Structure 1
Amino acid sequence: MSVADKSEKKSGGLSETVSVIVQALLLALVIRTFLFQPFSIPSGSMRPTLLEGDYLFVTKWSYGFSRYSLPFGPDLFSGRIWGSDPARGDVVVFKFPPNPSLDYIKRVIGLPGDKVQMKDGQLFINGTAVPREKVGEIDNPDITEVNRPVDVYRETLPNGVSYDTLDLTPNSIGDNTREFVVPEGHFFMMGDNRDNSTDSRFNVGYVPAENLVGKANIIFFSIADGASPLEIWKWPSEMRASRLFNFVR
């Protein structure tokens, strides 16, 4: 084999490697943009449903696509393509309206036109109290973040969606609010950890449909105590095996 043949073979091999890498990156971009996006839970606002250290997939097609479906949210178009509204009770990842560089995750409580209010810790939608039943206590700091028993209440929304909420503090600042009227094209979001959630009751405000990223779908990994998934040596003691592959409800 001549030197020219060796050079051509080396060049061809490098070209093929670059081509495979580019194709893999494009495939990953398509999957992340149109199908699934991994997301890690950054705070305790959705406890007990979601915990810090949960890693989940968000389905991007659930509500159609907006500029925020693309990495870095380039201002290429406005509104949503193939858009559909989330259902009441969906757990949704969205861009924080005051600063769209930040991702938030909350539960959809109010739809466009709804009137939402909290009275003495009870949720009211359109003037009707949402059924709220105490189902027990949780005495586990990994779930509640506090070293004492915490009351757990199950809410059932008008469409039948039920979920558990934590009541960390009676008569907290979020237990009594004004009546919020959700504008058209917007949604009212709340965290399940009602006394420790920055949501539409506070500075999140009403969330525009354009800011929706996708629906929280399934937990594929979970690790406690602030450990990183890369710290494999901590898996035996810190991995929450019972949470793996649980659907988010």
Structure 2
Amino acid sequence: MADKAEKGGNAIWETIKTIVYALLIAGVFRTLFFQPFWIPSGSMKDTLLIGDFLFVNKMVYGYSYASCPSIRIGAVGLDVDAKDLCGFLDGDNTRLLGGEPDRGDVVVFRHPATGEDYIKRLIGLPGDKIQMIDSVLHINGAAVGLEDAGTFVETFERQGPLGRYPLCENGPVGQGAECVKTRQTETLPGGTSHDILNIAYQRRSDDTGVFTVPEGHYFMMGDNRDNSTDSRFAKTAGGVGFVPYENIIGRADRIMFSSAGRSMLFFWTWRGDRFFKAID
């Protein structure tokens, strides 16, 4: 009986060690290489849709305190922030093995005020002057290139786990109707092109003052221009403001798969045309 109990105790201990080792390996992998990211909102349509699942490349920009994962599981009251784990790296706005992001990169970063993970497109580099004039982006006094790209059409229905309805240029529309937005192809200095969406003129975001990007910071914007909380709005007013270099987590390069349903486990709602889709 003693031998059986001892073997049982050893089996339990080996199982615990296996789980701990697996968690450690997963933690190191997530910290150093790739972090999974699930798109919860429509601020980057139509580049990224609600329900897109991707991995963020952390190696490309090097590492800072923001490279450490934040672990939040509300159901069990677990809330461990990246600063709790790697706060000793915070404060000097530098990175280990740091690489400079490029204009036009789709970047995941920590919100400077709330610490939440955001994903936007990098529009302004340090020293740039950014301004919106009559819905057109201007960088260092020059308007970016714009070409008509038709319309973006989706169904007006609740989307993703948060169950939000999309905003429509042809709104208001009823449940199940077509929701339409104007689409343009925007070309940034340096030649990066991507689609942007517009819904309606909004004074606060479509006509702004000049934002001069400070050294060591970046200016981020969503591709869904009229439905994005980004650097056009100060962090003290609920926006993002300028994003410090050390707050950058990594670059989004490729969508692994995408779910149009309320959960990524609903495989029958997966979008067949978005598997391993490159992010432009």
TM-score (norm 2): 0.81
| Deviation of the 1:28 alpha carbon | 0.4
Partner of 1:44: 42
* Equivalences for residues 163-202 of structure 1 within 5 A: 163-170=194-201, 172-202=203-233
Partner of 2:23 in structure 1?
25
Q: CA deviation at 1:188?
A: 0.2
Alignment of 1:112-127 (within 5 A): 112-127=126-141
| CA–CA distance in structure 1, aligned partners of residues 179 and 14 of structure 2 | 59
CA drift of 1:139 comes to 2.4
Is contact 2:54-2:255 (8 Å) kept? yes
Partner SS state of residue 138, structure 1: strand
CA distance in 1, matches of 2:192, 2:18: 45
The answer for the alignment partner of 2:82 in structure 1 is: 73
Q: Which moved more, 1:199-208 or 1:131-140?
A: 131-140
**Contact in 2 for aligned 1:120/1:171 (Cα 8 Å):** no
What does residue 150 of structure 1 align with? Answer: 181
Q: What is the identity, as a one-letter code, of the residue corresponding to 2:39?
A: I
- Name the % identity: 51
1:73 partner amino acid: A
**Alpha-carbon distance in 1 for matches of 2:29, 2:145:** 39
Residue pair 2:46, 2:152 contacting (<8 A) in 1 also: no
The equivalent of 2:263 in structure 1 is 228
The structure 1 residue matched to 2:108, chosen from 66, 86, 93, is 93
Tell me by how many angstroms 1:145 deviates.
4.5
2:249 aligned partner: 213
CA contact (8 A) 2:167 2:199 kept: no
CA contact (8 A) 1:150 1:167 kept: yes
CA–CA separation in structure 2 for the residues paired with 1:77 and 1:149: 45
**Conserved in 1, the CA contact under 8 Å of 2:218 and 2:242?**
yes
Matched, 1:160 2:198: no
Unpaired runs of at least 5, structure 2:
70-80, 160-165, 169-177, 234-238
Question: Secondary structure at the residue paired with 1:173?
Answer: helix
SS state of the match for residue 32, structure 2? helix
CA contact (8 A) 2:202 2:226 kept: no
Any stretches of 5+ residues in structure 1 without a counterpart?
Answer: none
Give the length in aligned residue pairs: 241
Q: Could you tell me how far 1:171 is from its partner in structure 2?
A: 5.1
Q: C-alpha root-mean-square deviation of aligned residues, in Å? A: 1.7
Counterpart residue identity of residue 179, structure 1: V
Deviation for aligned residue 1:12 = 2.6
* Cα contact 1:89–1:107 (8 A) shared by 2: yes
- What letter matches 1:77 in structure 2? L
**Counterpart amino acid of residue 182 in structure 2:** D
Paired amino acid for 1:228: S
Aligned partners of 1:248 and 1:116: how far apart in 2? 24
Q: Which amino acid aligns with 1:217?
A: D
Match of 2:163 in 1: none
1:204 aligns with 2:213: no
